[in-house]
Amino acid sequence: MALKRGSASVKILVISGAYPPMRAGESSNAHHLCRHLAGRGHEVHVLTSEANTGAGDPGIEVHPIMQSWSWLETFRFARFVRQCAPDAVLLVYLDAIYNYHPMMTFSPTLVRRLMPRVPFVTRYESPVGGADPKTSLSARLGRKVVAAALGGKDITYSAGTLLRDSDRVIVLCEGHREVLAQEWPQVRDKAVVIPPPPNIEVSQEAAGNARSRGRALLNVAADEFVIAFFGYVYPKKGIETLLEAFSKLSHDGRKARLVFIGGTLDLDSEVSRRYWDEMQQLCTALGVADRTLWTGAFRSDREEGSLYLRAADVCALPLLNGVQLNNSSFSAMAAHGMPIVTTRGPATDRVFADGENVLFFEARNAGALAEKLKFLMDSAQARERLSSGVGMLARQWLSWDTGIERTLATLA
């Protein structure tokens, strides 16, 4: 089967518990992935949850028929796959988008028995999962029964047969591959690293025009230095560190504005909403509410978010665990050539070079972040160097052309 550029149209089934209008990084990336596959002339079908009705894109047929992704829906899943009769199957996997139920961890085995010659590829959004308090007793018992029925060999607790029976496994960064290899070492032989391209419609308007439009949308003056955070707001993003750093800049008399581009998650929505409220309160307590803008949610398939990014001078991504290639927020910033200040962690990929394509500071250190931001505010040369470096990184690792080519080759 040929699935490369210029090949004849084939039918691709994308399985994802997250899809628009759900607000989550997995939803946005699955949506853009399907749009780009359809843009290559392939027939794309999406099997998803009932609430995820899609965005009406041409060339994409959305099937929102799954209710709970539980053992009770195994027959519904199998019947749909058989009737769809795809040429290739791509499973977007994160335990949270399947209600932490293990049924989908055995899906490659089921599909293989239904259609032995159809390639099945699993794309891991994150390798962290397994035992979760939300997993019911019946789900756990069902996992044991199914594992025993399948012989138990090379079946892992959190991955089921995803690692064993998927023809290929896509991971979003090197660190994810190593985590999966700790669970099943043989996965190294079938794993392919394909970082997520930006979950955003990048404005193709001339940079100067887009910047002016973005600043008009944000009501930002031409002489104000804009620091932007891009992405969903939830714990582990380090937003409190950014707010504290910005308060230091403001108290130094710097003429700057801080913009948070993005809203709360639908996944773990209670936690995300509570964190959002806490950050609003901190913003007020630090005395920077009048210099801080919060855009809230926006449509990732429209250019609004891109215009906000064009309006910025630098971006800050103060992740508590360090930046990795799987961070789709970083991909969006990089696609716009933004100078980025971020954190380094134990699993940060080697492609990130301090002072060349990013500027590192120590996580949770607001003083260090403030100093890095001051440095960039005062040095146009440093901003230009970082912009050039991150643009090169984006073209090499994070473009949709590269991502789709590699995904199609993997499906083949």
Is the pLDDT confidence value at 21 over 70? yes
For 298, the token pair is: 């926006």
CA nearest 373: which of 291, 315, 288, 309? 315
pLDDT digits (tens, 9 = 90+) for 360-382: 999 999 999 999 999 999 999 99
User: In the prediction, which pLDDT does 155 show?
Assistant: 79
Is the pLDDT confidence value at 392 over 90? yes
Euclidean distance between the first and final Cα of the chain, in Å?
6
Does residue 238 contact residue 320 with C-beta atoms inside 8 Å?
yes
User: In the prediction, which pLDDT does 137 show?
Assistant: 61
Please tell me which residue, 2 or 300, carries the higher pLDDT value: 300
pLDDT digits (tens, 9 = 90+) for 78-132: 999 999 999 999 999 999 999 999 999 999 999 999 999 999 999 999 987 544 5
For residue 5, name the pLDDT band (cuts at 50, 70, 90). Answer: very low
- Residues 294 and 231: their CA atoms lie apart, in Å, by 11
Q: Please compute the mean of the pLDDT values over residues 281-304 and round it to a whole number.
A: 94
Domains of the chain and any CATH numbers: 11-193 (3.40.50.2000), 207-398 (3.40.50.2000)
Flag whether the pTM goes above 0.75. Answer: yes
User: In the prediction, which pLDDT does 154 show?
Assistant: 72
User: In the prediction, which pLDDT does 252 show?
Assistant: 80
Is the pLDDT confidence value at 45 over 70? yes
Q: Is 216 exposed, middle or buried (0-12, 13-18, 19+ CB in 10 A)?
A: exposed
